[in-house]
Amino acid sequence: MDVLYIVLNIVVLLAIIGLLIWMQKKHFSFTKRVFTGLGLGIVLGTVLQLIYGAGSEVLTETTGWYSIVGSGYVRLLMMIVVPLVMVSIIQSIINLEKTAELGKMSAWIIGTLISLTMVAALVGILTATVFDLSAEQIEAGQAESERGSMLEDRLGDVEAQSTPDKILNFIPSNIFLDMTGERSTSVIAVVIFSLIVGIAVLGVRRKNPEQAEMFTKIVNSLYAVVMRIVTLILRLTPFGILALMANTVASTDFAGIVELGKFVIASYVALAVMFIIHLVLVGVFGLNPMVYLRKVIPVLGFAFTSRSSAGTIPLNIQAQRNSLGVNEGVANMSASFGATMGQNGCAGVYPAMLAVMIAPTVGIDPLDPMFILQLVLIIGISSFGIAGVGGGATFAALIVLSSMNMPVALAGLLISVEALIDMGRTALNVNGAMVSGTITSRIMKTLNLKTYNDKTAIEENTSL
């Protein structure tokens, strides 16, 4: 009988996918298809949990089959990340008119990312204080206690790494290993390798222009092929979001959310405030924030459901280039850097809120100016190299809390709401990367204002 229910659930998913395909054939916009998939995924996940109950065998089997569509889509995106980052950055550098632009571009992107993360830390501190959050308010069950113990064990590995060691981790010693994404800093390592290759080609161009020209043609051809692969994969976005959202909602521990409701609400308030700051910043640089918001919503929708900043890189780059009019080189670098450093949600808001919650339990006044200054600086420095996939926030919390000499077990007590909050954090991370790219391109006067202000650009360039 269980098999019959599972087959029925799969048929329902396939029927909804059929609806999305019909919408595509009827030329519904990409944004409408993405949000239809998102909405129907929420409804489907809710119905599945209400009928079968969280943790049931039928639900577990069903989500396993749904993962073929959802997780399979994320895997395809992760597959293209390294080739896309590598070829895009090399191509961007060899097409620069002035090599000095590279340093200026990198400085503005990284500076914006880290500055916004430090602002996010202040927002996290303020929110935790306003909501009067405290570690003592959270009760630990067996699963939470086990997670807390696991994090304390993992803390030893984190503390063993000094700041110089963490910086050294960015430098690739085996680029082929980093192409596999084996390390949390693999994307940055690939970026650094690509920068070196691009700079080397500029040097060859001065001495052997013919060889440099041949290499440039090869890179441009590879770039065209890679971008075509990206387009093919992005056509699957509505289907991927549908399955990911259905699985997330169906597997959500709603009882845990209710129990930790105050922390969940406070977290999303902090994320919303930071999101508004992003939009204000876009406005400060003379751009219409509402136009920006409308064009990035499909990307943020995927980031929200997938919980993967790295997996969102292809969508991030495409949206910046085609919808926002960001310079190609800036888009490539901001999306790549933003996936592993300066993450406003995971490395900014979250660790700051935990530190404020824990501080009173160890005799520290969380409103002490010196405590706040130290916390913000540590968050800014430690935000380098945070993994751009699910779990990055926990790693960031371990680094920050251990640097502040605080216990780390609290991060384990929030296990029941981790996925729900991580969805919002990831969307904010990706938005921070897109804002940094948009602002940098604006500062360097390479932003195509015609494309940015063209309300149909998102329709025309994402008609996948």
User: How many independent structural domains does the chain possess?
Assistant: 1
CATH number of the domain to which 190 belongs = 1.10.3860.10
- How many helices (H) does the chain have, and how many strands (E)? 22, 0
pLDDT above 70 coverage of the chain, percent? 84
- Name the more confident of 240 and 260: 240
User: 385: pLDDT confidence band, cut at 50, 70 and 90?
Assistant: low
Which residues are CB-neighbours of 461 under 8 A, at least 6 positions away?
318, 322, 323
Give tens-digit pLDDT for 77-126: 888 888 888 888 888 788 766 666 778 888 899 899 999 999 999 999 99
Q: Is the pLDDT of residue 275 over 70?
A: yes
pTM of the model: 0.79
Q: In angstroms, what CA-CA distances link 1 with 5, 8, 20, 47, 67?
A: 7, 11, 29, 19, 22
- Name the more confident of 229 and 54: 229
User: How far apart are alpha carbons 148 and 176 in whole angstroms?
Assistant: 35
User: How far apart are alpha carbons 130 and 115 in whole angstroms?
Assistant: 23
Give the domain range for residue 278.
Answer: 2-461
Q: Which two tokens stand for residue 1?
A: 């009988």
